[in-house]
Chain A
Amino acid sequence: MLDTDTFTTPDGRTIGGTVMDLRNITLRFGGVEAIKDISFDIREGEIRAIIGPNGAGKSSMLNVISGFYVPQEGEVWYRGKPRPQMKPYEVAQQGIARTFQNIALFEGMSVLDNVMCGRLGHMNTNILSQAIWWGKAAKEETENRAVVERVIDFLEIQAIRKTPVGRLPYGLKKRVELARALAAQPSLLLLDEPMAGMNVEEKEDMSRFILDVNDEFGTTIALIEHDMGVVMDLSDRVVVMDYGRKIGDGTPDEVRNNQDVIDAYLGVAHD
Chain B
Amino acid sequence: MTDLHTIPAYLDRNATDFGDAAAYREKEYGIWQEWTWSDARTEIEEMARGLIGLGLEIGEHVAVIGRNRPQLYMSMVAVQCAGGIPVPLYQDAVGEEIAYVLGNCSAKFVIAGDQEQVDKVEEVRARIEGLRHIVYLDGRGLRKYDHSVMSSMETLREAGRNADRAEMDRRRAQQTGATTCVMLYTSGTTGKPKGVVLSHDNIVSTSKASSGFDNLRQSDEVLAYLPMAWVGDFIFSIGQAMVTGFTVNCPESADTIMHDLREIGPTYYFAPPRVFETQLTSVMIRMEDASRPKKAMFDHFMAHAKGVGPRLLDGEDVGFFDRMKYKLGELLVFGPLKNTLGLSRVRVGYTAGEAIGPELFDFYRSIGINLKQLYGQTEASVFITQQKDNEVRSDTVGTPTPGVELRIAENGEVFYRSPGSFVEYYQNPESTASTKDPEGWVATGDAGFIEEDTGHLRIIDRAKDVGKMASGALFAPKFVENKLKFFPDIYEAVVFGNGRDRCVAFINIDLTAVGNWAERNNIAYASYQELAQHPRVLATITDHVNAVNRLVAEDDMLAGCQVHRFLVLHKQLDADDEEMTRTQKVKRRLIEEKYADLIEGLYSGAEEVYTETDVTYEDGRKGKIKATVKMCDAEVVPVDVKTLEAAE
A158 with B252, Cβ < 8 A, contacts A13-B144, A153-B28, A216-B143 known: yes
Q: Which residues of A contact B30 (CB under 8 A)?
A: 145, 149, 152, 158, 161
Which of B90-98, B253-261, B276-284 is the interface stretch? B253-261
> Which of A150, A153, A154, A212 has the most chain B CB within a 10 Å cutoff?
A153
Partner of B144, one of A12, A145, A156: A12
B143 adjacent to A159 (CB under 8 Å): no
A216 with B140, Cβ < 8 A, contacts A146-B29, A149-B30, A201-B618 known: yes
A215 adjacent to B141 (CB under 8 Å): yes
A201 to B620, CA, bound (A): 12
A156 adjacent to B140 (CB under 8 Å): no
A212 adjacent to B253 (CB under 8 Å): no
A159 adjacent to B259 (CB under 8 Å): yes
Chain A positions 194-218 with a Cβ under 8 Å from a chain B Cβ: 201, 204, 208, 211-212, 215-216
B256 adjacent to A159 (CB under 8 Å): yes
Q: B619 near A: Cβ within 8 Å?
A: yes
A215 with B618, Cβ < 8 A, contacts A153-B28, A158-B252, A159-B256 known: no
Chain B positions 220-256 with a Cβ under 8 Å from a chain A Cβ: 252-253, 255-256
Chain B residue at smallest Cβ distance from A151: B29
B256 adjacent to A215 (CB under 8 Å): no
Chain B 596-627, CB-CB to A under 8 Å as 1, else 0, gives: 00000000000000000000001100000000
Q: A11 near B: Cβ within 8 Å?
A: yes
Q: Which residues of B contact A12 (CB under 8 A)?
A: 143-144
**Number of chain B residues close to chain A: CB under 8 A:** 16
A212 adjacent to B144 (CB under 8 Å): no
Q: Which residues of B contact A13 (CB under 8 A)?
A: 144
A212 with B29, Cβ < 8 A, contacts A158-B253, A159-B253 known: no
Q: Which residues of B contact A11 (CB under 8 A)?
A: 144
Q: Which residues of A contact B31 (CB under 8 A)?
A: 149
Chain A 154-179, CB-CB to B under 8 Å as 1, else 0, gives: 10101101000000000000000000
> Which of B27, B28, B29, B253 has the most chain A CB within a 10 Å cutoff?
B29
Partner of B255, one of A146, A159, A212: A159
A201 to B619, CA, bound (A): 9
A156 to B253, CA, bound (A): 8
Q: Which residues of A contact B256 (CB under 8 A)?
A: 158-159
A154 with B619, Cβ < 8 A, contacts A146-B29, A149-B30 known: no
Chain A residue at smallest Cβ distance from B116: A208
A152 to B29, CA, bound (A): 8
Chain B residue at smallest Cβ distance from A112: B30
Q: Which residues of A contact B143 (CB under 8 A)?
A: 12, 215-216
A201 to B259, CA, bound (A): 25
A11 to B144, CA, bound (A): 7
A201 to B623, CA, bound (A): 14
Q: Which residues of A contact B29 (CB under 8 A)?
A: 146, 149-150, 152-153
A13 to B143, CA, bound (A): 9
> Which of B30, B253, B256 has the most chain A CB within a 10 Å cutoff?
B30
Partner of B141, one of A159, A204, A212: A212
**Number of chain A residues close to chain B: CB under 8 A:** 21
Q: Which residues of A contact B618 (CB under 8 A)?
A: 201
A136 to B608, CA, bound (A): 71
A151 to chain B, nearest CB (A): 10
A67 to chain B, nearest CB (A): 31
A161 to B263, CA, bound (A): 15
Chain B positions 6-42 with a Cβ under 8 Å from a chain A Cβ: 27-31
A208 with B255, Cβ < 8 A, contacts A146-B29, A149-B29, A149-B30 known: no
A215 adjacent to B144 (CB under 8 Å): yes
Chain B positions 140-184 with a Cβ under 8 Å from a chain A Cβ: 140-141, 143-144
Q: Which residues of A contact B619 (CB under 8 A)?
A: 201, 204
Partner of A208, one of B27, B141, B144, B259: B141
Chain A positions 67-125 with a Cβ under 8 Å from a chain B Cβ: none
A248 to B518, CA, bound (A): 51
A149 to B252, CA, bound (A): 12
A74 to chain B, nearest CB (A): 37
Chain A positions 8-60 with a Cβ under 8 Å from a chain B Cβ: 11-13
Chain B residue at smallest Cβ distance from A152: B30
B122 to chain A, nearest CB (A): 15
Chain B residue at smallest Cβ distance from A153: B29
Q: Which residues of A contact B27 (CB under 8 A)?
A: 158
> Which of A156, A159, A216 has the most chain B CB within a 10 Å cutoff?
A159
Q: Which residues of A contact B140 (CB under 8 A)?
A: 154, 212, 216
A22 to chain B, nearest CB (A): 30
B70 to chain A, nearest CB (A): 16
Chain B positions 31-69 with a Cβ under 8 Å from a chain A Cβ: 31
Chain B positions 541-600 with a Cβ under 8 Å from a chain A Cβ: none
A97 to chain B, nearest CB (A): 20
Chain B residue at smallest Cβ distance from A156: B253
A11 to B31, CA, bound (A): 36
A15 to chain B, nearest CB (A): 14
A149 to B618, CA, bound (A): 28
B69 to chain A, nearest CB (A): 13
A161 to B255, CA, bound (A): 11
A211 to B142, CA, bound (A): 11
Q: Which residues of B contact A145 (CB under 8 A)?
A: 30
B152 to chain A, nearest CB (A): 14
A156 to B140, CA, bound (A): 12
B551 to chain A, nearest CB (A): 39
Q: Which residues of B contact A212 (CB under 8 A)?
A: 140-141
B66 to chain A, nearest CB (A): 14
A216 to B144, CA, bound (A): 10
Q: Which residues of B contact A146 (CB under 8 A)?
A: 29
Q: Could you jot down 29 A-B contacts, CB within 8 Å?
A: A11-B144, A12-B143, A145-B30, A146-B29, A149-B29, A149-B30, A149-B31, A150-B29, A152-B29, A152-B30, A154-B140, A156-B253, A158-B252, A158-B253, A158-B255, A158-B256, A159-B253, A159-B256, A159-B259, A161-B30, A201-B618, A201-B619, A204-B619, A208-B141, A211-B141, A212-B140, A215-B141, A215-B143, A216-B143
Which 5 A/B pairs are nearest by Cβ-Cβ distance? A159-B255, A149-B29, A159-B256, A12-B144, A149-B30
Q: Using a CB–CB distance below 8 Å, which chain B residues touch chain A?
A: 27-31, 140-141, 143-144, 252-253, 255-256, 259, 618-619
Given contacts A12-B143, A216-B141, 5 further A-B contacts (CB under 8 A): A146-B29, A158-B30, A159-B259, A212-B141, A215-B141
